């Protein structure tokens, strides 16, 4: 019987078939890692489960630092039917790429590339944000409830979250 090579997830330590794991390889000496999508890069690598949980934990890892674009790519590869922005945002929350709250977003509007607006936002606030987004040509979606967006940052409610990184924004829009 032919068995597929197994590798261990660096996060949960479970052994799995290589196909069920992402491979990340060391980019430089500073512990920065990048995704090796085809698992062919001839560099020292680590493996991570293709699950939201392990990628989430990887995003907070002290020693293994994966670029936010790569984390996002992994999450996008996981998604099956519809895009789950909440899970993606949760995995990104420790990066400096997100800003939330209407005033904060308006302050940093020149750096914003994508906006996620709560579905249950008040009509007045919705108009304020969408008008600004249209004026600045920033793509946006209505997604999740205020308490769900708030939950990401351990707040009661958040009306709106914006993404400041262009590549990340593109990954979310695609
Ligand atoms: Zn794992």
Rounded to an integer, what distance in angstroms lies between the CA atom of residue 53 and that of residue 74?
Answer: 12
Q: How far is the centre of ligand 1, averaged over its atoms, from the C-alpha of 28 (Å)? A: 23
Q: How far is the centre of ligand 1, averaged over its atoms, from the C-alpha of 128 (Å)? A: 42
* Sequence-distant (≥ 6) Cβ neighbours of residue 142 within 8 angstroms: 117, 118, 119, 121
Which contiguous run of DSSP H or E holds residue 24? Answer: strand 21-26
Other C-beta atoms within 10 Å of 109: how many? 16
pLDDT value of residue 93: 85
pLDDT value of residue 81: 45
Q: How far is the centre of ligand 1, averaged over its atoms, from the C-alpha of 12 (Å)? A: 4
What single DSSP character describes residue 39?
S
pLDDT beneath 50: ranges in the chain: 81
Q: Which CATH superfamily does the domain covering 6-78 fall into?
A: YlxR-like (3.30.1230.10)
92-173, CATH topology level: 60s Ribosomal Protein L30; Chain: A; (3.30.1330)
Q: pLDDT tens, 38-62?
A: 888 998 899 999 988 899 899 989 8
Residue 159's Cβ-side half-sphere holds a number of Cα atoms within 13 Å equal to 16
Q: How far is the centre of ligand 1, averaged over its atoms, from the C-alpha of 14 (Å)? A: 6
pLDDT value of residue 22: 96
∠ Cα 29 32 38 (to 5°): 110
Q: Are 80 and 130 in contact (CB under 8 A)?
A: no
| Domain ranges (residues) in the chain | 6-78, 92-173
pLDDT value of residue 1: 56
Q: How far is the centre of ligand 1, averaged over its atoms, from the C-alpha of 149 (Å)? A: 26
């Amino acid at each position: 019987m032919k068995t597929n090579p197994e590798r261990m997830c660096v996060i949960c330590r479970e052994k799995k078939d290589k196909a069920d794991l992402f491979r990340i390889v060391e980019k430089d000496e500073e512990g920065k890692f990048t995704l090796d999508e085809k698992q062919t890069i001839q560099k020292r690598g680590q493996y991570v489960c293709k699950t939201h949980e392990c990628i989430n934990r990887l995003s907070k890892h002290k020693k293994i630092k994966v670029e936010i674009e790569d984390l996002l790519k992994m999450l996008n590869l996981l998604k099956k039917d519809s895009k789950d922005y909440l899970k993606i945002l949760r995995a990104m929350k420790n990066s400096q790429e997100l800003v939330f709250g209407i005033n904060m977003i308006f302050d940093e509007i020149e750096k914003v590339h994508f906006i996620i607006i709560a579905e249950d936002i008040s009509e007045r606030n919705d108009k304020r944000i969408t008008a600004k987004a249209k004026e600045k040509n920033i793509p946006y979606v209505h997604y999740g409830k205020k308490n769900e967006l708030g939950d990401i940052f351990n707040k009661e409610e958040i009306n709106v979250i914006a993404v400041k990184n262009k590549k990340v924004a593109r990954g979310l829009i695609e």
